[in-house]
Structure 1
Amino acid sequence: MISRSTIDRVFETARVEEVIGEFVQLKKAGSNYKGLSPFSEERTPSFMVSPVKQIWKDFSTGKGGNVVSFLMEQEHYSYPEAIRYLAKKYNIEIDEIEQSDEQKQQADERESMFLVSEFARDYFHKNLLEDEQGKAIGLSYFKERGYTEETIKKFQLGYALNEWEAFTTEALNKGYNLKYLESTGLTIVKQDLLAENGTKTFDRFKGRVLFPIHSMSGRVLGFGGRILTNDKKAAKYLNSPESDIYHKSNVLYGIHYAKQTIAKEDNCYLVEGYTDVISLYQSGIENVVSSSGTALTGNQIRLVNRLTKNITILFDGDAAGIRASIRGIDLILEQGMNVRVLMFPDGDDPDSYSKKVSKDELKNYLENNSQDFINFKVSLLMEEAKNDPVKKAGLIRDIVISISKIPDRIQREVYIQECARIMDISENVLFNELAQIDNKLKREASKSGRSSTYNRGKHPDPNEPPMDVLYPEMLQLQKTPQFEKINELKKYEREIIKILLLYGNNEVDFVDYVEEGEVEGKEFHTLKKEHFQNVVSKEIYLNLQDDEVEFTDETFKNIYYDVINQLNQNKNISVDVLVNHSNPEVSNLVTNILMDDEKHVLSNWERKDIIVKSKESDLSKMVLDAIYNLRRVLIEEKISSLVSNVENESEREQILETVVNYTSLKQRLFERLNRVV
């Protein structure tokens, strides 16, 4: 178990903007940073990072927290894993406290799968570099491909011995559970009645060189294995099967190594295979990733979209393979991204071409030979269509369909003009065709109840059931407006907590109104203005203490007690302690409150010449209004409770007198709040 002192050093050292910047492209927005949400599909930034407060907030999903909670959300780390990741990043030595057997057993299944995968990576890598068979077969193969020792170590390449159970036996001897060897796909378990325990185990990657597949943060998710023999019955490449930690449609090979350069260069090169990535990387092109032989998916594109809006697809000279991959272009356009395409000379792919030319020649070729998707489609298909008017019309229609995927209207128009110029056809014809495609999609969306999907610029999936089939309750909700009653008590409890977090240490000139007046022994009420100075947190504490107010919401109560405890010990409130609180509900709520105050930054009001009034100017009124409103709601609830609990006539008069007194008190609170009853 990690010691408290190590955790404190991690929080003191780690910078939330640096860590999140490796996963999301952040741009300066005042004193904060903003970017696209990594947790939802969006085109307008709603994700904000505050370097001053060392917190983040995703306004599209409501998630937020500190640097550790981000890693837990983004990479599904456990709390200790996130601390270890940050300690490694910032070169912090970890102090360990001995775990009990019970604590060791509490590691969840996902964490166990990651541990098994990391062991496999190290085992296969050691085989490659130290085992005689590994050096003779695996290492020789990689060196023949021109990989340097530095590259082999960088990508943690490995080799599985050409033996049926070499890996499985080693893993079991090291104490790893067969359950996780099987769930990660590293070991195949089959029923065998002749075996001693009724099962037989095999190493999935027997006799293959291995490419570890990493998440964006560097966790080992699975492996790709290439066979080196001429066994025609065996697949040339074999990937880890789908598991709780590996979903191939959500992963891009090389993203862990490429992410920083992608953000820096503001461009991502997309290739087909593992060796393409490694060869280009070794040749100095580090902003390169691969879909690992699978068809490109929307989730893979969104991984890149967090880092850059620009993708360049690198194709080899195989025309059949290119046509099969063209669908990926439309997917990229749908995400509102810019896509360019580059073809290598016939017979070459990124791997082979990078070995033929120098690093400078490769870089120049990539920079000078990419083209937009219209020119690419024309150059690819025009040769076979030029003498056939029907085929040419089909090509033009195909290009317009691609343009229709683009959500930005201005970009659409620019591309229509470009298509008209290249294909020598009227812009009006193309705009009419585009309008017909749009209208057709609208009709389809309307019929299937998915117009909202269309309006977001995302075209409906023809295989997806209509909304009224998926969610029949939606039809009733559309007919019957429903409004959730506001819990006023929670509203003002939250307001008090917010004031404590944002302004609790401020000393303020308060202006209050006190009651005075007596005529012939009878009291009457006038309000006299009174000025006094106090610290905000102290003023709130004294008022709530006088009224013996208890917070009804458990999280608010925890935060309030922590604040009071801090005040008793340090005389000041440290928001950092609450942001990094061990209770995730406290940490999340505190972050939400702190970042909600920064939400206006996303709208760039200052650039629109709209002045956002500082809340500090009305801080005295804000504090007293929150206290008075909380009292008012508590009085209203007390009156309601009294009235509903009248059981007999004898109690009625006494309760009525109490209600009158409470109502009078409420009237005075309204006067202080300048409200009309």
Structure 2
Amino acid sequence: MIDQPTVARIFDVAEITEVISDFVTLKKRGVNYLGLCPFHNEKTPSFTVSPAKGIYKCFGCGKGGNSVNFIMEHEHLDYVGALKYLAKKYHIEVVERELSPEQEKQKNDRESMMIVNSFAQKSFSMNLLQHKQGMAIGMSYLRERGFRDDIIKKFQLGFCLEEWDAFSKQAINSGYKKEYLVKTGLSIDKENRLLDRFRGRVIFPIHGIAGRVIAFGGRILKTDVKTAKYLNSPESEVYHKSRILYGIYQAKKSIVQNDKCFLVEGYTDVLSLHQAGIENVVASSGTALTPDQIRLIKRFTNHVTIIYDGDAAGIKASLRGIDLVLEQEVNVKVLLLPEGEDPDSFSRTMGASDLMQYIEQNESDFIVFKTNLLLKEAEDDPVKRANLILDIVRSIAIIPDAIVRSVYVKECSAILNVDERILYTEINKIIHKKKEEAWKRNQRGDTNRINESAKLAENSGFLRAANDCDLEERALVRILLNFGKEVLFRQKNEEGTETHVLVGDFIVAELKNDELESVNPLYQMVFDQFGANTGNKQFNAKTFFRDHANEKVSQLAADILSEPYQLSGIWTRNESYVETEEMKLKDIVPKLVNEYKGKKVHLLIKEVLAEMQKAQESGNPDRLMELMKQKMVLDSIKNAISKELGNRTIL
């Protein structure tokens, strides 16, 4: 970890226009700067940088944040990596917290393995380009496949000589330790002798997200040997095959620009599509698709097209990958190539524009694809057809978003000629069963509760739509950030001394006293952390949340700080009107808090009424009487709040 004084210094010196100007041409417009957004294609500038607020905001794609967020997004680094990037730019020495001996060894081991991998990549590339054997065997194969020099260089392809230990000897003689050659899987320790794992193979280096080589894939060229055609590095401290995708480093910028990712199977598929001009492509390298790999793609886009070749058996085995993509709330389409073709062979038959046109015209929605594929098997067999419908229903039930589910239900109903109500009944059964299982896990104290909370924080955008109080809570957060330290009113204590009540103190106290919590963990985090700093005179809510270590919190702060300093429709509906927030804080803040309380009471009343209906239908008079009493209490609270609001109707 980087110590806090260093982090603070980095934020102080990393002037946002200076940081962003390294990547975007900015032109001054009033007090702000304007440029073309680097995160999506646009012709009219909508990317705004505010030096005064220290934030950027694109009003086209919605991305925003501070200097560190920009580097994280643009360079695809984590929080610490972005801090180190800026520290290097401004010549700031990074002082990291002292690690335990075990942590220090692990860190050193990882770095040593990365260095060994880097050496191996350079050695293999040199073999391919300059060694007689590499040129005669490796380069001949690549030329036969039609790969150009720029693609070979871009992906740092190489060749491992056919001798049993040529690379291992070279590495040892160059000063690299046997321990790290074995740990990376480059060498195999057999009877105290090092042997080259990839001997006689064309080498495909596998790059991590930051561009460093973390592993290798090797293809054997001989046809008369009893060994796997492709061989990958084994799992290690630096390489976890389920968490990485081949080509992600070379593709990430194009994926962001096109807001789309093509997913293929093999190394040469990626190379061929790049050579054809399509760069937003990655491969699962022959392994089954994993949730971690999908989440990796989701860092750059929510749109994936899976490209399958004409092998029907392979396609059916890969259908689970589609369900995994849906589960991660990613929009998925499928492209089935003509029989006998794969992305490698097919991309060499046409140019980039023709290929893109073919993809756009032939990619299909997963429901259409999966249904048509399975219908061929079912034919007129009613049992197989019923199983097909259940299979499709299970896929739809995986989708978290109810609106997206409803669209797919309608589509599935039309294709299969099945009543929508029947599909919804089956889907609801599956969802109910999953919720029941989740509840049982939670009752047992399952650690999944922690993971679910983290998932909620990551999907705050989805929560806004599901949060009935989002309008009021967002307004409260905005006032805390912009006016939390302003004086709301003055009051006298028991000794008769006049004290100031600040806006933030009032809001936090009101929420705490009535035990009001948001279903949106980001809003709640702002309320909690503001409350924890109410007595801190040095606390500045704007910079604290803008520069927050949690990327989602700083994004939220940037979004809110980029909004105008005026009230939203919450204060203009019902023909009420106020001027700017700053001028009317004394009126606005108590009204907003009461509006929020009123909304919460209104939602509780709705819940009680629903429970009363159930109690009446089930013939439970005792429960009904208890609920009627609860409603009377809530009605009295609602009336009291309405009086405070000047008899405004609470919606």
TM-based fold match above 0.5: yes
Equivalent in 238, 242, 245 of residue 249 of structure 1: 242
For the structure 1 residues 439 and 473, does the alpha-carbon distance in structure 2 shift closer, same or farther, using more than 3 Å as the test?
closer
* 1:293 corresponds to: 286
Equivalent in 223, 226, 240 of residue 233 of structure 1: 226
1:117 partner amino acid: N
* 1:307 corresponds to: 300
Q: CA deviation digits over 1:614-651, x for unaligned, max 9? A: 67999xxxxxxxxxxxxxxxxxxxxxxxxxxxxxxxxx
Equivalent in 65, 68, 91 of residue 50 of structure 1: 65
For the structure 1 residues 188 and 14, does the alpha-carbon distance in structure 2 shift closer, same or farther, using more than 3 Å as the test?
farther
Q: CA deviation digits over 1:92-146, x for unaligned, max 9? A: 9999xxxxxxxx9997222222111111111111111111110000111111101
Q: Secondary structure at the match of 1:110?
A: helix
* 2:110 corresponds to: 110
2:177 partner amino acid: N
Equivalent in 339, 349, 352 of residue 356 of structure 1: 349
Equivalent in 330, 355, 361 of residue 337 of structure 1: 330
* 1:184 corresponds to: 184
* 1:159 corresponds to: 159
Q: Secondary structure at the match of 1:115?
A: helix
Which segments of 5 or more consecutive residues in structure 1 lack a partner in the other structure? 36-44, 57-65, 96-103, 193-198, 451-465, 475-500, 514-524, 530-555, 564-572, 580-586, 619-677
Which segments of 5 or more consecutive residues in structure 2 lack a partner in the other structure? 1-5, 25-36, 94-103, 452-480, 500-532, 572-578, 586-651
* 2:145 corresponds to: 145
* 1:668 corresponds to: none
How far apart, in 2, do the equivalents of 1:444 and 1:615 lie? Answer: 49
How far apart, in 1, do the equivalents of 2:179 and 2:127 lie? Answer: 24
How far apart, in 2, do the equivalents of 1:247 and 1:24 lie? Answer: 30
2:414 partner amino acid: R
* 1:62 corresponds to: none
Contact 1:16 1:55 in 2 (8 A): no
How far apart, in 1, do the equivalents of 2:180 and 2:200 lie? Answer: 21
- Please state how far the C-alpha of 1:225 moved relative to its aligned partner: 0.7
* 1:323 corresponds to: 316
How far apart, in 2, do the equivalents of 1:428 and 1:422 lie? Answer: 15
How far apart, in 2, do the equivalents of 1:204 and 1:170 lie? Answer: 14
2:131 partner amino acid: D
For the structure 1 residues 233 and 14, does the alpha-carbon distance in structure 2 shift closer, same or farther, using more than 3 Å as the test?
farther
For the structure 1 residues 595 and 380, does the alpha-carbon distance in structure 2 shift closer, same or farther, using more than 3 Å as the test?
closer
For the structure 1 residues 443 and 249, does the alpha-carbon distance in structure 2 shift closer, same or farther, using more than 3 Å as the test?
same
* 2:569 corresponds to: 609
For the structure 1 residues 442 and 349, does the alpha-carbon distance in structure 2 shift closer, same or farther, using more than 3 Å as the test?
same
Alignment of 1:386-397 (within 5 A): 386-397=379-390
Equivalent in 267, 275, 283 of residue 282 of structure 1: 275
Q: CA deviation digits over 1:323-344, x for unaligned, max 9? A: 1100010111111111110101
Equivalent in 362, 366, 383 of residue 359 of structure 2: 366
For the structure 1 residues 17 and 401, does the alpha-carbon distance in structure 2 shift closer, same or farther, using more than 3 Å as the test?
farther
How far apart, in 2, do the equivalents of 1:133 and 1:114 lie? Answer: 27
Contact 2:125 2:159 in 1 (8 A): yes
- Please state how far the C-alpha of 1:25 moved relative to its aligned partner: 12
Equivalent in 441, 446, 452 of residue 449 of structure 1: 441
How far apart, in 1, do the equivalents of 2:380 and 2:386 lie? Answer: 11
How far apart, in 2, do the equivalents of 1:420 and 1:528 lie? Answer: 69
For the structure 1 residues 279 and 607, does the alpha-carbon distance in structure 2 shift closer, same or farther, using more than 3 Å as the test?
farther
Contact 1:16 1:49 in 2 (8 A): no
1:609 partner amino acid: G
How far apart, in 2, do the equivalents of 1:163 and 1:94 lie? Answer: 47
For the structure 1 residues 181 and 346, does the alpha-carbon distance in structure 2 shift closer, same or farther, using more than 3 Å as the test?
same
Contact 2:305 2:334 in 1 (8 A): yes
Contact 1:188 1:201 in 2 (8 A): yes
* 1:15 corresponds to: 20
Q: Secondary structure at the match of 1:419?
A: helix
Larger Rg over CA atoms: 1
- Please state how far the C-alpha of 1:74 moved relative to its aligned partner: 2.4
Q: Secondary structure at the match of 1:189?
A: strand
How far apart, in 2, do the equivalents of 1:435 and 1:116 lie? Answer: 53
Q: Secondary structure at the match of 1:313?
A: strand
Contact 2:161 2:200 in 1 (8 A): yes
**How many residues are aligned here?**
477
* 2:170 corresponds to: 170
Q: Secondary structure at the match of 1:188?
A: strand
Q: Secondary structure at the match of 2:210?
A: coil
Contact 2:133 2:161 in 1 (8 A): yes
For the structure 1 residues 424 and 288, does the alpha-carbon distance in structure 2 shift closer, same or farther, using more than 3 Å as the test?
same
Q: Secondary structure at the match of 1:356?
A: coil
- Please state how far the C-alpha of 1:599 moved relative to its aligned partner: 7.0
How far apart, in 2, do the equivalents of 1:591 and 1:372 lie? Answer: 32
- Please state how far the C-alpha of 1:246 moved relative to its aligned partner: 0.7
Identity rate of aligned residues, in percent? 44
* 1:428 corresponds to: 421
How far apart, in 1, do the equivalents of 2:174 and 2:283 lie? Answer: 33
How far apart, in 2, do the equivalents of 1:418 and 1:304 lie? Answer: 26
Q: Secondary structure at the match of 1:346?
A: coil
For the structure 1 residues 110 and 603, does the alpha-carbon distance in structure 2 shift closer, same or farther, using more than 3 Å as the test?
farther
- Please state how far the C-alpha of 1:423 moved relative to its aligned partner: 1.1
- Please state how far the C-alpha of 1:68 moved relative to its aligned partner: 8.3
Asked if 1:347 is matched to 2:340, the reply is yes
How far apart, in 2, do the equivalents of 1:352 and 1:296 lie? Answer: 22
2:202 partner amino acid: V
- Please state how far the C-alpha of 1:358 moved relative to its aligned partner: 3.3
Contact 1:268 1:311 in 2 (8 A): yes
